[in-house]
Amino acid sequence: MRQITKVTVVFLIAFLGMATKADNGSNGKYFEISKNIEIFTNLYKEINTYYVDDLDPAKLMRTGVDAMLESLDPYTNYISESEIEGFRYITEGKYNGIGAVIKKIDDYITITEPYDNCPAQKAGLKAGDVIKAIDGKTAKDKSSDDIMDFLKGFPGTEVELTIERPGTPGEMKVSLTRDEVKVPNVPYSSMVSDDIGYITLTTFTRDAGKNVGDALKELKSQNPNLKGVIFDLRGNGGGLLTEAVNVSNVFVAKGEMIVSTKGKVVDWDRSFKTLNKAIDKEIPLAVLIDKGSASASEIVCGVMQDLDRGVLIGQRSYGKGLVQNTRDVGYNSRVKMTTAKYYIPSGRCIQGVSYKDGEPFDIPDSLRAQFTTRNGRTVLDGGGVKPDLVLEQGSDASIVKSLLRGNVIFNYATQYALKNKEIGSVENFNFTDFSDFENYIATNNFEYQTKSEKVMEQLMKKAKEEKLLPSIEADIKAMQAKIKAEKNNDLANYKDAIINEIEKEIVSRYYYQKGKIQVRLKNDKEIKDAIDILRDKNKYEALLNGK
C-alpha cells in the first residue's frame, strides 16, 4: 500500500466513523468507501507531484469536489471559506460589504443598483458607475465574483474605488466604509386599490414570517375597509424551511401541519406545525406564483392550496421539493447537501423527478399522483404547484429579452438620469418619449436575432452539410426576408412591454428597489386579475371549491 499522510488517515477515520453511524454496519460499503478514498488521495498526490505543469492544489481539489456534487442534484454544493458571506446573505438576508448589485458589462464591472441607505448609496455611487480599480488595483477583465470578493469585508474597514461615471469627464476616486448590509425580505407592501392590499416577499431569510405578519397588521390597521390581500411570491427562490412555516402561520391557525421531511437518516425526519395564533385566517387571499417560485415559496403556496386558504394565480411553480442542510467540513467551509424531501398537508411532494442541465423535467399530468385538498379538490404531486387560475406569462418577446440582455435599456436609463435630476412621484411618472428611445437604438446600432432567425440559420447550415442547399436555398432566403420584414415591426408591436421595462429602470435610479416594485405593480395584469377575483366573492369561493 502506498504511504498515506497523517491528515489522510485522520480524514479516513473521521469519515468512516460518520459512515458507521449512517449505514448501520454495512461492512461491504465501508470497504468501498475506504478503498475509493485511498485511491482518490493517492491520485491527488501523484498528480500534484508529477504533472508536467504547476498546479493550484486548492483549485484542482475544488474541481473534483464540484464534479462529484454536480452528479447528485443542483442544490448540493460545497461552500468554501471565501463564499461564506454569500451563504450568509442567502440564509440571513445580510452580509458585510458596500450594498450594491453589480454586473459585468464589456471589460469592467458596472454598478447596476445601489441599495438605499447603504454604504454605496451614502458615498454617492450611482447605477451606471463603472469600477475601474479597487484600492489602486485594476478591475479590468475581473468577474463579478472576483469584484464582490474585494468589496466584501468587515464592517468599519475602508475600500477605495476608482470610478468612471457616464457624463463626467475623467475618473474619480470614492472611499467607502464597509458595513453590514441588510436586504429586506419584504421590500414593499401597500394598497393596490381602495380595498385590496399587497405584500411582496422576495426571499425566505430570517424573520420572513414576522415581517410578512407585520406588513399584514399594518395594512389592516390603516385600512379598515380591507377586503383582500395579494401575496406576491413570484421569482421567490425560497430559503429557510422554518420561515416557510412562519409565513404560512400568518394566514393559517395554530396547530396546523404545514410540512414534513423524510430522508435516509430516519432520526432527522421532522414534522412542522404552526405554533402561533394566525394574524388573519379569514381574509380572502390571492397568492401570485410563477416558474421562479421555488422551495420555501412552494411550501407556502402549496399549503394555501391544500388547506383551501387562498387562491393561487399565475404559472406553475419551479418544482423543488428538496430540503438542504449544511455540515461543517473544516477550515470554515461547509457542504450544503440535500438530506430529505418535503411533503405538504395533502401528502404530496412537488419535487421534479429528474434533472437536465440543472433544470427539472416537465412531468405530464398523466404521470403525476393525485391528492385532495381539505375541500376535496384534486391536486397533483411532482413538478411544481399548478395555480388554481393559470395565466399566460408576460411578454417573452425576443426583442425585449435582447434589449435587457444587451444592457440597452439600462444604458438608456443612465443617459436619461443624467438629463433629468428628478422625475416627480412614482405614481405620476410615465415614460412618453418612445421616439427618443428609438433614436437611441438607431444611434447605437442595436441588432438582435429572433428565435426564427436562429432556426433558419441552423437550417441553412444543415442543408449545406447534407448537400441540399442548392435546391432549397432560395426558399430559405425568402423566409429569412419575411422574418426580417416582420422583425422591423417589433418595436411597435412590443412597445408597451418595452416601455414597462424602461419605466422600471428609470424609476430605480431615483427610488431604488421600492420604486421599481411600484412601477411593476402599476403595469401588472396579474395584479389586476387578482384584484378582480378578490372582489368577486362567488368566483373566489368557486375556485376554492373546484368549480
Annotated catalytic residues are 295, 306, 320
HEC sequence for 113-170: EECCCCHHHHCCCCCCCEEEEECCEECCCCCHHHHHHHHCCCCCCEEEEEEECCCCCC
Element spanning 370, H or E: strand 370-372
Q: Which of 246, 233, 364 is nearest to 295 (CA)?
A: 233
Residue 332's alpha-carbon distances to 78, 148, 228, in angstroms, are 12, 19, 47
Residue 24: left (phi > 0), alpha (psi -120 to 50), or beta? left
SS3 300: helix
Residue 371 CA to its chain's centroid (Å)? 29
DSSP secondary structure letter of residue 386: P
Cell 442547399 sits on residue: 469
Q: Which of 204, 286, 187, 211 is nearest to 244 (CA)?
A: 204
Residue pair 98/176 in contact by the 8 Å Cβ criterion = yes
Residue pair 511/426 in contact by the 8 Å Cβ criterion = yes
Residue 320's alpha-carbon distances to 55, 139, 170, 347, 356, in angstroms, are 38, 37, 49, 15, 14
Residue 144's alpha-carbon distances to 101, 160, 395, in angstroms, are 10, 17, 28
Supply 384's cell numbers: 411544481
R_g over Cα of the chain: 27
SS3 319: coil
Separation of alpha carbons 329 and 18, rounded Å: 12
Residue pair 365/322 in contact by the 8 Å Cβ criterion = no
Separation of alpha carbons 311 and 55, rounded Å: 56
HEC sequence for 399-455: HHHHHHHCCHHHHHHHHHHHHCCCCCCCCCCCCCCHHHHHHHHHHCCCCCCCHHHHH
The residues pairing with 311 across neighbouring beta strands, listed in sequence order, are: 286
* Pairing, β 378-380 against β 370-372: antiparallel
Kindly write down the DSSP assignment for every residue of 462-483, as one continuous string: HHHHTT-HHHHHHHHHHHHHHH
